[in-house]
Structure 1
Amino acid sequence: MRKAILVVLCAAAVVLAGCNGIALGGDETPARTVTPAAVPTDEPTPTPVPRLAPGLTERGVTDAFALGEAHASVLGNASYTLNGNFSVEYANGTAYNRGTTDARLAANSNRYYVRQNASGLLFGDGAFVRAIWSNGERVLVADTANDSTSYESPRNVEGESVPPREALSIDPTKRQQLYAYLGSVETRVTGTETRNGTTIHRVESTNVMNPAAFEVQWTDPRDLSLVAFVDSRGLVHEYRLDYTASLDGTPVDVRRHVRYTDFGNTTVERPPWYGEAIANVSTVTTTAG
């Protein structure tokens, strides 16, 4: 769901008024009079803040929606690789939820190979792996849990193959997360760096305006740090989110790290399980231990 996001920028204007200067003689009569300077009647025009990217100026993120849309638009026109990890851990290191996402996508996201791993107490202290591949025409899914793998080719209620983009179980652009995260904190640009010849702006959170954006099964997010690396097109090359929260009254550390690489140089190949999937669609096979 798209959420309209309003960020207000306050600019302080200092107006220097003219002054009167009167030098008094011994007889208290003016010896010299200085004509007062004219006092401006209109407020001066604020100095524009240079734009660094859509929705981003030197003062920070001004429009999280515009930035998220620009980010998704750039990714929609080139192949790329996505690497992400997410964890919710107790102080003793036990994972409530821990997962990774590795994805390779062609331009327009019709051809892709996405692999997701999840583990922790949320999964009964077990592990779950989902891999999904598309050649732009058909989609194959491999789900592995408890040493068993099942394969399927997603179909709708009419029995027709689901289009590749509809079958993709995630939004690899993460635009909704960017809307929510960057629209819920105040930010500032703290520096620049160069990656493969591209200037990247480092954006850091300074204050949380909407804590609810960071609540899921947990509450009371605090000590939050959000860092994003953005280029002039609005592409968020990387972002890191860290904070502490409470899960059923117990403190947990929440961490998320997402990174995009290999723009225009990512290829999508058949997965090693392609042949087995073709032969066993909608069946379950036991993985040899």
Structure 2
Amino acid sequence: MRSGPTLLVCLCVVLAGCGTTSTGGGARTVNPALADTPTASPTPEPWSGPPGVTQSSVDVRELASAHGQALANRSVTVELTTRRTWSNGTTLSAGTQRSYADGERQFYRWNASAVPYRIAGDRTADVAYWQNDTVAVRRWGLENGSAEYEVYDDRPLDGLAVRFDPTGEQTVLALLEPHDLSYDGTVTNGEETLYRLVATGSDRSTSSQRSDVNVRVLVTEAGIIRSIGVRYQITVNGQPVLVGVQFVVSDLSDTTVPRPPWVNETLANAD
């Protein structure tokens, strides 16, 4: 019988054909996996968040410094409002600080609508000052409706505790440093993209035992803090008190510094 050699020849012919190209026009691939072209992974967009802010951490000092530098040569309005209320909604204390600044010129006023204490010397919680590059005038309201006025040459207000930083940098640092902030996405306000930073739970404050802390910050890519909202609870005389603080920056490069009539009157009387 001659079937054995015939089968062997046929098998060799079949195996030999596995690596050739068919004359019928179809290409045959030795490794089918090579037919699937790998898809390149997209290149991640580079992070371009505010100074001191990454997707995993926030350096408050670097952020506050960037805020101050970004506003140093721009006119700006800065407002800080603080309110403390008892659990029944009654106000314990409330006050607003507002600064209008443009270069060397600044007008600042602090007014408290309710305070739990008296200020020495019959003074009230209504203080203001105006200054330019050569002189400063301070006004302090009194309980009888009148006011005390003081004129300072060579801008000595820089050394007074009442002076408010025109950019709000020190206020930003004081509000945010006790908290561990984290990045929480972006929001859009008109044509401006704002980065949202948050903190909840407790903080590192040593001045009081704060609880139920909630912090919300909106900041531009350049590091300008547009707003800060802080809420927490403390205990006063054994009773819970809710504290709310709001910091807002507005009128960038569009702030006009007021010059109240008492400024001119005080300067005229001082001559």
TM-score tier, shorter chain, comes to: 0.7 to 0.9
Q: Does 1:170 align with 2:164?
A: yes
Distance in 2 between residues matched to 1:186 and 1:48, nearest whole Å: 26
RMSD: 2.7
Q: Is the 8 A contact 1:49 1:58 kept in 2?
A: no
Q: Does 1:90 align with 2:79?
A: no
Q: Does 1:113 align with 2:113?
A: no
Aligned residues: 223
Q: Point out the structure with the larger strand share.
A: 1
Distance in 2 between residues matched to 1:174 and 1:81, nearest whole Å: 9
Q: Does 1:233 align with 2:222?
A: yes
Task: Give the CA deviation at 1:207.
Answer: 4.1
Which structure: larger Rg?
2
Q: Is the 8 A contact 1:114 1:133 kept in 2?
A: yes
* CA distance 1:91–1:206, shift in 2 (3 Å): closer
Q: Is the 8 A contact 1:98 1:119 kept in 2?
A: yes
Matches within 5 A, 1:186-205: 186-205=180-199
CA deviations 1:247-284 (Å, max 9, x no partner) are 232211111101011111112232132233234459xx
Which residue identity is paired with 1:191? G
Distance in 2 between residues matched to 1:141 and 1:195, nearest whole Å: 37
Task: Give the CA deviation at 1:151.
Answer: 0.9
What's the secondary structure of 1:186's corresponding residue? coil
Corresponding residue of 2:50: 53
What's the secondary structure of 2:173's corresponding residue? helix
Task: Give the CA deviation at 1:170.
Answer: 1.9
Distance in 2 between residues matched to 1:127 and 1:90, nearest whole Å: 23
Q: Does 1:273 align with 2:244?
A: no
Q: Is the 8 A contact 2:234 2:242 kept in 1?
A: yes
* CA distance 1:163–1:127, shift in 2 (3 Å): closer
Q: Is the 8 A contact 1:188 1:206 kept in 2?
A: no
Q: Which runs of 5+ in 2 are unaligned?
A: 1-43
CA deviations 1:123-176 (Å, max 9, x no partner) are 34995211100132111111112112111113xxxxx54346446612243333
Corresponding residue of 1:249: 238
Instruction: Give the alignment partner of residue 222 of structure 1, picking from 193, 211, 228.
Output: 211
* CA distance 1:207–1:181, shift in 2 (3 Å): farther
Instruction: Give the alignment partner of residue 135 of structure 2, picking from 134, 138, 150.
Output: 138
* CA distance 1:165–1:209, shift in 2 (3 Å): closer
CA deviations 1:58-95 (Å, max 9, x no partner) are 2341x111101001111112110112211122223343
Task: Give the CA deviation at 1:183.
Answer: 3.4
What's the secondary structure of 1:128's corresponding residue? strand
Corresponding residue of 2:29: none
Distance in 1 between residues matched to 2:88 and 2:266, nearest whole Å: 40
Distance in 2 between residues matched to 1:120 and 1:129, nearest whole Å: 11
Distance in 1 between residues matched to 2:177 and 2:110, nearest whole Å: 27
What's the secondary structure of 1:55's corresponding residue? coil
Instruction: Give aligned-pair identity as a percent.
Output: 27
Q: Give the TM-score taking structure 1 as reference length.
A: 0.68
Q: Is the 8 A contact 1:95 1:121 kept in 2?
A: no
What's the secondary structure of 1:57's corresponding residue? coil
Corresponding residue of 2:147: 149
Distance in 2 between residues matched to 1:248 and 1:176, nearest whole Å: 30
Q: Which runs of 5+ in 1 are unaligned?
A: 1-46, 155-159, 283-289
CA deviations 1:183-221 (Å, max 9, x no partner) are 332333333223352211111114434142xx3xxx320
Q: Is the 8 A contact 2:80 2:246 kept in 1?
A: yes
Q: Point out the structure with the larger helix share.
A: 2
Q: Is the 8 A contact 1:120 1:127 kept in 2?
A: no
CA deviations 1:22-67 (Å, max 9, x no partner) are xxxxxxxxxxxxxxxxxxxxxxxxx998351111112341x11110
Q: Is the 8 A contact 2:232 2:242 kept in 1?
A: yes
* CA distance 1:103–1:279, shift in 2 (3 Å): same
Q: Give the TM-score taking structure 2 as reference length.
A: 0.72
What's the secondary structure of 1:123's corresponding residue? coil
Q: Which moved more, 1:264-273 or 1:189-198?
A: 189-198
What's the secondary structure of 1:274's corresponding residue? helix
What's the secondary structure of 2:180's corresponding residue? strand
